[in-house]
Structures are given as C-alpha cells and as structure tokens.
Amino acid sequence: MTHLLAVLVGLVVADGLASRAIIESGLGREGNPFLHGTQGANWVLIKLAGGLLATFILADIHKAKPRAAETCAIVYVALYTGIVFWNVAIMMFAR
C-alpha cells in the first residue's frame, strides 16, 4: 500500500506539472472547474495538497478496511496514469 500511495503522489505531481506546461503554452486548459480561477505556483500547490490529502485519507481507511483502500488506490493510480499519458500526448502531438 505504501508503494501505491507513493506512486499516486508522484502521478499527482506529474499531472500538475504537465497540466501547467500545457496551459502556459496555450495548448489546453484546466479541466477541473475548482482550479479555473487559480494560477501560478499556487495552482500546483493546490493540486499537490489535494493529492496528499487523498493519500492520507486512503492510508487512514487502510487501517480499518485494507482491501477497500487498496482497491481505491489501484483505481486512482490507473486513472492518474491515464491522465498523465493524456497530458504527455497533448504536449507531444499538438505542436
């Protein structure tokens, strides 16, 4: 579970950095409606804080319901992997 949570945090950071690069280059915009009004370093910090909060919640759930927490972590890792690949594809093929 520790490895899954570490990968999840890494993917959240990768998503934040890739999204920021896409937005700053004008290739796209943020899909999360809660982050539309934020910009700059605060925006990446908000994404990182949200990822860390989700990680801590999953770690806490893991104490009582390990199977459910692991399943959720696997699903989120898969989703964020897809998001990061999507962002990288946009950066590679949109130019």
* Cβ pair 23, 29 in contact under 8 A: yes
Determine the residue type at 68. Answer: A
Give per-residue pLDDT as tens, 48-68: 888 889 889 999 999 999 999
Give the end-to-end CA distance of the chain in Å, rounded to a whole number: 38
pLDDT band at 1 (very low <50, low <70, confident <90, very high): confident
Q: Which residue bears the tokens 């999204």? A: 19
Q: Is the torsion defined by CA of 29, 31, 33, 37 positive or negative?
A: negative
Q: What's the pTM?
A: 0.78
